[in-house]
Amino acid sequence: MFSPDSDGRRKLLMDRSAPGRVGTTMPPLDVPEQALPPADMLRADLDMPEVSEAELVRYFSQISQFNFSIDHNFYPLGSCTMKYNPKLNDEMAGLPGMAEIHPRQPAPTVQGALKLMHELQGLLAEITGMAGASLAPMAGAEGELTGMLMIRAYHLARGDTKRTAALIPDSAHGTNPASAAMAGYDVVTLPTDANGNTDLDALRAAVGDDIAGFMLTQPSTLGLFDTNITEVIRIVHDAGGLLYGDGANLNALLGRVKPGDLGFDVVHSNLHKTFTQPHGGGGPGAGAVMVNDRLLPFLPSPVVERRTDADGNESYDLASPPQTIGKMGAFHGNFGALVRAYSYIRTLGDSGVNAVSEDAVVNANYVLSQLKDLYDLPYDRTCMHEVVFSARNLKRDYGVSALDVAKRLIDYGVHPPTMYFPLIVEEALMIEPTETESRETLDQFIGVMRRIAQEARDNPALLRDAPHDTPNTRLDEAAAARRPNLRWRPQ
Ligand SMILES: Cc1ncc(COP(=O)(O)O)c(C=O)c1O
């Protein structure tokens, strides 16, 4: 009740300051007193908040509430797979044998950790139908770069130097063209056909001996399974190119379809999405890459190998594949994320892993079926783990945009869906419920979305000014990203 000022303004830490108030007690000096640095190195005018411990705790507790997380409420942020992250995984990652080891420790002292990594490599290879895996990349985007560097190394090792371009569909996540360009490739964009699949005619026209590979997201960022996939892969392989699978949407395929069986040569998995890891706001993540036999020798180093001595004793060690592209980071991946992914897969077991994709797909199709009468559905097909609506009908009829709908959802305590992506869908609202939500939560969300569509008709201003109940309302998001103001400075 005392937290905001009487004018409703939130109190900053500085506003709580009173001269001479302290929140800590320093212990008595028990070391020889040292002289201060020279006066010209001291800042006499440093204006620091002086607050009691209670005020400090209140301040941080209040600002911690400004964040939204999956532990607060429903978080249908499409393409980001904001599923509930079981606390058990955090507990496993916090075990002393996991959290208190150092990447420079000699292998014999960290056998358990190496064994976990080795088993995770095997589990991911099995889930994706590939021959091997590297856990080194620390984000999906880094997995993409790793994959494209391996494709490059593969062609060059065969003396095939003509391949200078990579094909990427117009629905792709922005990191795909960025990764291809960072790996040294020109990007050739392919159109999506009227059904939301790869346009086969355009693909046939684009392939040639200058194409290193095709980066395809399956299911696509439209939430659709590309039903042309076998033909796509045949066309690219016949032209000597390789298939890169962006596995960010692996949640839809788990236990049902293996990218390796489809013919992909390399696929990354956003472990932080599919295999749980509290993520968002830029991290932390893990973007393991899985490869078929062709690319196995090029995996980044290190990979974890199991060795068996003459007496049959097993041990684990770090190794470098014969034609490795080298290291993708300082050590061997984001270990905490790897432990969580391992714990999640082991906890689920085979049947649990299958249930993930089934429930994720059923949930998304339930949302689709309950909202398609009010929100435009550009590709009216059964979707996979997410559904992409368009608010273009609300924009046309009432001047209400996808952004307005998303901001209004905040007033109802729901995290906005992904907006304006994929770029080929006008006023896109990309909703990914994930498998961890109950029927009741989905019904509440559907109710809210239906109510918002009604509000758009009856009172569009309510949506255009939303959110109404947050510390900040509409931010200049470009300025917030490009010129973030992260420090308090004295006036
Ligand atoms: C389809 C797709 N590909 C790649 C990425 C990149 O993954 P990351 O954010 O872990 O770098 C994302 C992230 O949202 C994505 O949705």
pLDDT number for residue 63: 85
Q: What is the mean pLDDT of the chain?
A: 94
Hey, which residues does 268 pair with through a beta bridge? 246, 289
- Note whether 168 and 285 are same-domain residues: yes
Query: Structural domain tally of the chain?
Result: 2
Span 268-281, average pLDDT: 92
Query: Tens digit of pLDDT for each residue in 48-107?
Result: 889 999 999 998 988 888 888 999 999 999 999 999 999 999 999 999 999 999 999 999
> How far does residue 247's CA lie from ligand 1's centre (Å)?
9
Query: Tens digit of pLDDT for each residue in 455-491?
Result: 999 999 999 999 998 888 898 889 988 998 888 776 6
Q: Does a structural domain hold residue 409?
A: yes
Query: Tens digit of pLDDT for each residue in 427-451?
Result: 999 999 999 999 999 999 999 999 9
- Note whether 336 and 421 are same-domain residues: no
| Maximum alpha-carbon separation in the chain | 80
Structure tokens given for 213: 């590979």
Report which protein residue has its CA nearest ligand 1's atom 8. 140
217 lines ligand 1 (CB under 6 A): yes
The C-alpha atoms of residue 292 and residue 287 are separated, in whole angstroms, by: 17
218 lines ligand 1 (CB under 6 A): no
- Note whether 209 and 281 are same-domain residues: yes
Query: Tens digit of pLDDT for each residue in 105-118?
Result: 999 999 999 999 99
> Over 60: is that where the pLDDT of 417 sits?
yes
Q: Does a structural domain hold residue 296?
A: yes
Dihedral (Cα; 393, 394, 400, 402), 10-degree rounding: -70
- Note whether 181 and 207 are same-domain residues: yes
Report which protein residue has its CA nearest ligand 1's atom 16. 79
- Note whether 124 and 272 are same-domain residues: yes
Ligand 1 nearest atom to the CA of residue 141, by list position? 11
The C-alpha atoms of residue 364 and residue 353 are separated, in whole angstroms, by: 17
Domain termination site, one of 308, 329, 346: 346
177 lines ligand 1 (CB under 6 A): no
417 lines ligand 1 (CB under 6 A): no
> Over 80: is that where the pLDDT of 333 sits?
yes
Domain termination site, one of 346, 379, 406: 346
Domain termination site, one of 322, 346, 370: 346
> How far does residue 97's CA lie from ligand 1's centre (Å)?
30
CB proximity list for 183: less than 8 A, separation 6 or greater? 145, 148, 149, 151, 152, 166
> How far does residue 141's CA lie from ligand 1's centre (Å)?
6
Distance of CA 226 to the CA centre of its chain: 21
Given a contact cutoff of 8 angstroms between Cβ atoms, the answer to whether 288 and 143 are in contact is yes
215 phi, psi to nearest 5 deg: -100, 110
> How far does residue 450's CA lie from ligand 1's centre (Å)?
29
246 lines ligand 1 (CB under 6 A): yes
- Note whether 439 and 300 are same-domain residues: no
The C-alpha atoms of residue 221 and residue 252 are separated, in whole angstroms, by: 12
Identify which of 267, 270, 423 to mutate to test ligand 1's pocket (most ligand atoms within 8 A of the CB): 270
Given a contact cutoff of 8 angstroms between Cβ atoms, the answer to whether 329 and 79 are in contact is no
Q: Does a structural domain hold residue 68?
A: no
Closest CA to 430 of 157, 223, 198: 223
> How far does residue 139's CA lie from ligand 1's centre (Å)?
8
250 lines ligand 1 (CB under 6 A): no
| pTM for this prediction | 0.91
343 lines ligand 1 (CB under 6 A): no
- Note whether 313 and 365 are same-domain residues: no
Ligand 1 nearest atom to the CA of residue 144, by list position? 4
> How far does residue 175's CA lie from ligand 1's centre (Å)?
7
Report which protein residue has its CA nearest ligand 1's atom 14. 80
Ligand 1 nearest atom to the CA of residue 143, by list position? 11
Span 316-340, average pLDDT: 96
Query: Tens digit of pLDDT for each residue in 194-252?
Result: 999 999 999 999 999 999 999 999 999 999 999 999 999 999 999 999 999 999 999 99
Q: Does a structural domain hold residue 30?
A: no
> How far does residue 248's CA lie from ligand 1's centre (Å)?
6
The C-alpha atoms of residue 303 and residue 319 are separated, in whole angstroms, by: 5
The C-alpha atoms of residue 299 and residue 265 are separated, in whole angstroms, by: 12
463 lines ligand 1 (CB under 6 A): no
79 lines ligand 1 (CB under 6 A): yes
> How far does residue 143's CA lie from ligand 1's centre (Å)?
10
- Note whether 277 and 208 are same-domain residues: yes
Q: Give me the sheet containing 186-190, strands edge to edge.
A: 132-134, 289-291, 266-268, 242-246, 211-217, 165-169, 186-190
- Note whether 365 and 471 are same-domain residues: yes
> Over 50: is that where the pLDDT of 1 sits?
no
> How far does residue 172's CA lie from ligand 1's centre (Å)?
10
Band of the pLDDT at 255, cuts 50, 70, 90?
A: very high
The CATH number covering residue 220 comes to 3.40.640.10
Give the least confident one: 8-17, 141-150, 261-270, 396-405.
8-17
> Over 70: is that where the pLDDT of 143 sits?
yes
Residue 424 structural domain: 355-480
Peptide bond into 302 cis (omega under 30): yes
Given a contact cutoff of 8 angstroms between Cβ atoms, the answer to whether 385 and 411 are in contact is no
Report which protein residue has its CA nearest ligand 1's atom 10. 140
